[in-house]
Amino acid sequence: AQSVTQLDSQVPVFEEAPVELRCNYSSSVSVYLFWYVQYPNQGLQLLLKYLSGSTLVKGINGFEAEFNKSQTSFHLRKPSVHISDTAEYFCALQNYGGATNKLIFGTGTLLAVQP
């Protein structure tokens, strides 16, 4: 069975500090990996995606993530956070070449940026 694990339910950080949100996945087949962000009372917005190629992917709002196949990880990073980055962040996987496009989500990490 496939799964996504986000061990940190909440990550408090001060403004302008760097942050890393951890994501590990489990799958017996190749996958695509995604990070989505959910601001309060809003839907999910795609931050970045890893489909193939370079293992370092850059997304919107200064976020980047690194795919590590040997560690089955896809951690999200930002060198300097802003108050406006406060939101829930979800890591998700999708089967590569599967019969369906469904996303399997982690439980989410609340990034709480403090002044």
Partner 1 sequence: DSGVTQTPKHLITATGQRVTLRCSPRSGDLSVYWYQQSLDQGLQFLIQYYNGEERAKGNILERFSAQQFPDLHSELNLSSLELGDSALYFCASSVGAVNQPQHFGDGTRLSIL
* Binding stretches for partner 1 (CB under 8 A): 32, 34, 36, 41-46, 49, 51, 90, 92, 94, 96-108
CB 109 within 8 A of CB 37: no
Residues in the chain: 115
Which CB sits closer to partner 1, 15 or 64? Answer: 64
52 versus 70: smaller Cβ distance to partner 1:
52
DSSP structural state of residue 22: -
Minimal distance in Å, beta carbon 22 to partner 1? Answer: 16
In whole angstroms, what is the distance from residue 76 CA to residue 48 CA? 9
What is the Cα–Cα distance from 81 to 62, expressed in whole angstroms? 9
Instruction: Considering the complex, state which of residue 81 and residue 92 has its C-beta at the smaller distance from partner 1.
Output: 92
What minimum distance in Å lies between the beta carbon of 59 and partner 1?
12
